[in-house]
Amino acid sequence: LRLSIPEFCIVVCGEGPMRGELEQRIRTHGLENHVRLLGFDHDPNAWIAASDVFVHPTRSEGLSLVTIAAQMACTPIVASEVGGLREVMRCSETSRPLGWIFGSDQPADLAELLEQSLSQVAKRRTFAREAYQSAIARFNLQRMVDRFVAMYAELLGYKSEERLLSKAYAA
């Protein structure tokens, strides 16, 4: 990225046991002006919304709430296609990608997708818009509550959610 986009800046939100090693690698590669380690942040949403691209390179993931938050902030995403990210990063009707998706552990692949995402402004806007629409349709509060109620009704052996709800409201 330093060769193709000399002004790039990566901001890392979060804290973990590898911080010292990351700081050393940043110094070793002369990236002090390009990488900021913020540490833990109770509300990273402002950073997510201000980003040109949200990057989530992980080897395993459940349902990624931070990626859904990026979608709802209309921030384009580059993410690993693992675990629950497979669902979050693809359109539920068409299976089309909702961002740049990679499946390998190769840093060069991630760097290439980052370069693509930063250089393809129209595609970035399209992904952001489609991901936002998908997140609103699939992960809005009412839909999630309805799905939880349906799941509990099924687990309890009720034929409909109304019976479960009427019993809950009667109590």
Task: Tell me the pLDDT tens digit for each residue of 75-125.
Answer: 999 999 888 898 899 998 899 999 999 887 888 889 899 999 999 999 999
Query: What pLDDT does residue 162 have?
Result: 66
Residue 128: CB partners within 8 Å, gap ≥ 6? Answer: 74, 75, 76
Residue ranges of the chain whose pLDDT lies below 50: none
Q: What pLDDT is recorded for position 96?
A: 94
Closest to 6 measured CA to CA, from 39, 34, 25: 34
Distances (CA, A) of 44 to 40, 41, 48, 67: 9, 6, 6, 12
pLDDT given at position 5: 87
pLDDT of 19 reads 95
pLDDT of residue 28: 97
Quote the pLDDT of residue 104: 72
Q: pTM for the whole thing?
A: 0.80
